[in-house]
Structure 1
Amino acid sequence: MKSSATSSARPTGSDGPARSTSGRLRRRPQLSEEVAAHLREQIMTAALRPGDYVRMDETAERLGVSVTPVREALLTLRGEGMVNLAPHRGYIVAELSRTDVEDLFWLQGEIAVKLALRTADAITAEQIADLEWHNQQLRSALASGDGSQVASAEFEFHRVHNLIASGGKLAWFLLSATRYTPARLYATDPEWGEVAVDSHAKLIDAYRAGDRAQVVEQTRRQFVDGAARLTRHLAGTGIWDEHS
């Protein structure tokens, strides 16, 4: 994923998973994965707060799906430690600490740096031009103000970037880690977009110049920025007030 906070999160639209115009999830083969992605974003932005119950019937009704994919999604999230099962009471959103956020972005950054350094060893002039084109697509998407387009353009930049590194397993681990970063939160933040485009441009310049130190700096830059933005957002929701 890439060298940014949201870059490996699959861009399923500005509201997370694919939706119809009514706001409900469209029926798809991997529907439980779509439901899990929606709930992850809700939890990571504190739309669902620690201690909240996730009611299967209510969630299914809200998303326009049956209870089965919701149940499967909650089992997945329980395995990830995002929800807990209270016997005879249902699923409860687990605690989300500042350290959790820090660790999440640290892990993403470490993997992304290794991928970026591999890219630095392999990238060609043609591939540099391709990255520049994709960064321009991101710039255009930001100008449109369409969060879905922004998420897609960011994803494509980093997908192309990671293909150059030929690190399939590392890219998969990064994709897995970035499932926990709320793409919509970033894609609808113009200031984040400015940082992303500028960081991409400087990363490309570093590849062109063979400046490995700058490759590392620009790769880490977006993760540091992403962690700070998510931490500020969560602090603003008050979920950590009683622990301050």
Structure 2
Amino acid sequence: MPLPPDERLEDAARRYGSMRSFAAEYLRERIISGVLLPGESLQIDEIAQRLKVSATPVREALQSLRVEGFVDGVRGQGFRVHPITAADIEDVFLVHANVAGELAARAARSISDEQLRVLEALHYELLAAAVRGDVEALEARNNEFHHLLNHIVDAPRLRWLVALFSKYVPRNFYAQIEGWPEATRADHTQIIDAIKARDAEAARHAASEHIIHSGELLAAHFRSATAAASVSDASGSAASAQARTDA
């Protein structure tokens, strides 16, 4: 499990609200992206050392992830990654798509001229970031675009659901997923065109398809990552067995 960049550690508490939230996000992202495999043991002291935090926020983070279904508590053995499949990811994004579509449809009916101006500006900044290959800016503008789109209308329960679904979105990995930057440019263009036309049903369809498409890309990445890790583990086991035989 690789260390996050040093600068992320320095302001983690500010950006994530607490070190517990930071540790939970760090582990959650690595589970969803396939870096941490189903059944893999998670040692509190090791994680704390890697993140340069005390054991307490890591333990609290793992308890939160257990409630969310990302890890299992094993008596006397700590925690292990709960089995998650690519189909699970696609199912979550399918439900997410329905909620996102509803929010986009309502936004198309209610958006003000000023909100539309800001949304368009974010869209064009996202396109520019994609063209110049600025991954950090691309992810930031994407998050801001969806945040604004989801807050145009007063629908706190729908936004609460989106927040739950977003736990399956590994923000700091997303721009590295093959095909996602290109899909984001195309999908967001359809969303913004529908919003500008005040076409609620077109906005619903565009936003829903965007989320489903994103889920498919993430699921494909997850399948590839877990398959590669399984092959690596099998090769390592075979090499170890051969070494023992040779000895």
The normalised TM-score by structure 1 is 0.84
Structure 2 Cα separation of the partners of residues 230 and 46 of structure 1: 10
How much does 1:215 deviate? Answer: 1.1
SS in 2 for 1:84: strand
How much does 1:16 deviate? Answer: 11
Partner of 2:202: 214
How much does 1:176 deviate? Answer: 2.1
Partner of 1:113: 101
- Greater helix share, structure number: 2
- Structure 1 unaligned spans of 5+: 1-14
Taking only the aligned residue pairs, the percentage that are identical comes to: 31
After the TM superposition, which of the residue ranges 121-130 and 80-89 deviates more from structure 2? 121-130
5 Å matches for 1:35-54? 35-54=23-42
SS in 2 for 1:85: strand
5 Å matches for 1:15-54? 19-21=5-7, 24=9, 26=11, 28=13, 30-54=18-42
The normalised TM-score by structure 2 is 0.83
How much does 1:170 deviate? Answer: 1.3
Match of 1:136 among 101, 111, 124: 124
Report whether the alignment pairs 1:199 with 2:187.
yes
Structure 1 Cα separation of the partners of residues 226 and 11 of structure 2: 33
Partner of 2:214: 226
8 Å contact kept, 1:44–1:182: yes
8 Å contact kept, 1:32–1:70: yes
How much does 1:114 deviate? Answer: 1.2
After the TM superposition, which of the residue ranges 192-201 and 87-96 deviates more from structure 2? 192-201
* Larger RCO, structure (CA 8 Å, separation 6 or more): 1
Partner of 2:69: 81
Q: Deviations over 1:20-43 (max 9, x none)?
A: 24x756552511011000100010
The residue type equivalent to 1:183 in the other structure is: R
**CA 110–150 in structure 1, closer or farther in 2 if over 3 Å, else same:** same
Greater C-alpha Rg: 2
Partner of 2:157: 169
8 Å contact kept, 1:24–1:62: no
The residue type equivalent to 2:119 in the other structure is: L
The residue type equivalent to 1:157 in the other structure is: F
- Structure 2 unaligned spans of 5+: 232-247
**CA 190–44 in structure 1, closer or farther in 2 if over 3 Å, else same:** closer
Partner of 2:148: 160
The residue type equivalent to 2:224 in the other structure is: G
Structure 2 Cα separation of the partners of residues 210 and 123 of structure 1: 8
**CA 26–131 in structure 1, closer or farther in 2 if over 3 Å, else same:** closer
How much does 1:219 deviate? Answer: 0.6
Structure 2 Cα separation of the partners of residues 16 and 65 of structure 1: 12
Q: Deviations over 1:72-110 (max 9, x none)?
A: 000000111111111111101010023311221012111
Structure 2 Cα separation of the partners of residues 117 and 158 of structure 1: 13
How much does 1:187 deviate? Answer: 1.8
SS in 2 for 1:50: coil
The alignment's C-alpha RMSD in Å is 2.4
